Amino acid sequence: MKTYIALFRGINVGGNSILPMKELKALLEKLDLRNIKTYIQSGNAVFRSNENNSSRLSTKIRAAVKKSRGFEPHVLLLELGGIEKAIASNPFPEAEAEPNTLHLNFLAFAPAHPDLKALERLKKESERFKLKGGVFYLYAPDGIGRSKLSANVERALGVPVTGRNWRTVNKIMEMAKE
């Protein structure tokens, strides 16, 4: 069995696309997924599956949510090695001491023509970023709430992304290794 990390995009944000984690866990159990654990309401789940095709599994999960709740969220599936690599590749280790300032945006697929120059023009002096593989790392010591850079990552990269802060990424990895 493989260990998967599911990062749901845009659920339980601003009162929209509501999916309680208890219900998500029940949906995943109906798909014959095992050892399911969820973390905070923003849509993080860890589970084990016999399915080797992550794209097919993601489609099944999206369809189950659509049938149950009436909306179809984007579901990015990572394997344990993928999240371990993302953590090990952090280009801003000095930011780890303040985990809410470091954000990892996981990309749905590799961008064909990322506009990093546009992001460079949008960033505040205190912000730094790096695109490495399937992860866009953003160090935003002033927070991402008002960051023009953070608000435009997806448009500039041209691919769907879902972000998590450093604390969440590490907690998810810890859960996946249990």
Going along the chain from its start, the domains and CATH numbers come out as 2-81 (3.30.70.1280), 89-177 (3.30.70)
pLDDT number for residue 18:
83
pLDDT number for residue 41:
80
Low-confidence stretches of the chain (pLDDT beneath 50)? none
Answer yes or no: pTM beyond 0.85: yes
Do the Cβ atoms of 88 and 47 come closer than 8 Å? no
DSSP 16: B
Write down the residue that tokens 């990552």 correspond to: 153
pLDDT number for residue 12:
72
DSSP 109: S
Q: How far apart are CA 127 and CA 122, in angstroms?
A: 10
